[in-house]
Homo-oligomer: A and B are copies of this chain.
Amino acid sequence: MRGSSVCAGGNPFVAAAYAELVEVFMKIILDVMGADRPAKELIQGAVLAKSEYQTDIVLVGNERIIREALTALEVSADMFEIVHSDDVITMEDSPMSVFQTHKDSSMAKTLKLVADGEGDAAVSAGNTGAYFTGATLIVRRIHGIRRAALGTILPFANPVMMLDCGANVTVTPEYLAQFACLGSVYMEKACGIARPRVGLVNNGAEEHKGTPLYVEAYHLLKEMEGIHFVGNVEGKDFPYGKCDVLVCDGFTGNIILKTSEGLCRFLMEKVQEMFRSGMISMLSGALVHGKAKEMKRFFDAREYGGAPFLGLAKPVIKAHGSSDADAIKNAIRQAITYAETGVIEEIERQAANFKVPAAGAGRE
């Protein structure tokens, strides 16, 4: 059993029940190129993960850079398998590039290795759009799944998986209904939550609320079997444990996630500022500073590792573009959890039940 699962992240505020993980031999494929930080930072994350989780890790990227980084980190190159690629997908490349102009890039090779069964899960901190499109085309979706989704665990009173977080900017009511199924399986298998409660992001609690897309999605979700739909959930209730899975389109999800990140940073700066002035600073300035800094990391990508792509035939984890070594370590831990808790097998098993009722069913 490992100490903590993906749902905990390193976040000290998440105190939910976690699935207990059985130690299984795993091989994680890590794309070390194309992130905001240099390859050495990502490789350091792999070194941390290797020592903490005793997993096999394949480093994919420029072999010279990888070997130099390992030497600089005083780590034997024998600890890792290295797969060379001298082509990199940058943050500016188009989503299709991984499949077209950069077929031999480290990202494409990472996905191919996992697709071919050469590893159990893929992790990359590179271009999200390219990684998502590449994963859909190379790893492929599970039969019956119309669109893969990008999920993120929000570290609230209880961990909440929000999906989609930005991969699918435009969706249909049917996609939203399937996202609910994907998120439910993940929260049940990877986080040990029985019968996860599914909420639909909306601008009001009543079932007629929202755009026509959301009104229709509400009716589909209400009719779906095998999920525990609890209705619309408003922004003010997100942190307060109303659901375990939060469903929305990728445009809205991205804005919720980034608004939360920005606001959290802003508020904690305000807290620090307030305590810097006045009498309290003399009493406990340094302590407060430390606490506020800790809070600032609340929504920090480093803490909750990566975001799983759900609906694909193999576990694919997207680490934040600006991930440091700790974040990469956490993303690798999340990849292990994703692979060994049988999320994908369960989605495959249930996919037939994910059939969305005919559009309009259940509507007045």
Binding site for B on A (CB under 8 A): 13, 156-157, 166, 169-170, 201, 203-204, 210-212, 214, 234-240, 250-252, 254-268, 270-271, 274-275, 279-280, 283-284, 287-288, 291-292, 294-295, 298
Report how far A169 CA is from B211 CA in the complex, Å: 6
Q: Known contacts A203-B251, A235-B258; is A267 also within 8 Å of B264 by CB?
A: yes
Report how far A294 CA is from B252 CA in the complex, Å: 30
> Are A212 and B260 neighbours in the complex by a CB distance under 8 Å?
no
Known contacts A204-B254, A235-B255, A235-B259; 18 additional CB pairs below 8 A are A13-B270, A156-B266, A169-B203, A201-B255, A203-B258, A235-B254, A235-B258, A235-B261, A236-B261, A236-B262, A236-B265, A252-B252, A255-B255, A259-B260, A274-B291, A275-B291, A280-B284, A284-B288
> Are B252 and A234 neighbours in the complex by a CB distance under 8 Å?
no
> Are A251 and B210 neighbours in the complex by a CB distance under 8 Å?
yes
> Are A267 and B295 neighbours in the complex by a CB distance under 8 Å?
yes
Interface centre among A238, A284, A291 (most CB of B within 10 A): A284
> Are A283 and B287 neighbours in the complex by a CB distance under 8 Å?
yes
Query: Which residues of B sit under 8 angstroms from A275, Cβ to Cβ?
Result: 288, 291
* Count of chain copies: 2
Query: Which residues of B sit under 8 angstroms from A260, Cβ to Cβ?
Result: 235, 259, 263
Q: What is the minimal beta-carbon distance from A4 to any residue of chain B, in angstroms?
A: 19
> Are A266 and B240 neighbours in the complex by a CB distance under 8 Å?
yes
A-B contact pairs, 6 of them (CB 8 A): A251-B252, A267-B267, A271-B291, A274-B294, A274-B295, A283-B284
> Are B255 and A203 neighbours in the complex by a CB distance under 8 Å?
yes
Query: Which residues of B sit under 8 angstroms from A240, Cβ to Cβ?
Result: 262, 266
Report how far A237 CA is from B236 CA in the complex, Å: 20
Q: What is the minimal beta-carbon distance from A289 to any residue of chain B, in angstroms?
A: 11
Lowest 6 CB-CB distances: which A-B pairs, in order?
Answer: A235-B258, A235-B259, A239-B266, A236-B262, A203-B254, A236-B258
Interface centre among A203, A211, A239, A287 (most CB of B within 10 A): A203
Q: What is the minimal beta-carbon distance from A82 to any residue of chain B, in angstroms?
A: 33
Q: What is the minimal beta-carbon distance from A96 to any residue of chain B, in angstroms?
A: 14
> Are B263 and A239 neighbours in the complex by a CB distance under 8 Å?
yes
> Are A271 and B252 neighbours in the complex by a CB distance under 8 Å?
no
Q: Report the nearest B residue to A214, measured CB to CB.
A: B251
Q: Report the nearest B residue to A92, measured CB to CB.
A: B206
Q: What is the minimal beta-carbon distance from A216 to any residue of chain B, in angstroms?
A: 13
Report how far A239 CA is from B269 CA in the complex, Å: 11
> Are A255 and B252 neighbours in the complex by a CB distance under 8 Å?
yes
Query: Which residues of B sit under 8 angstroms from A210, Cβ to Cβ?
Result: 169, 251
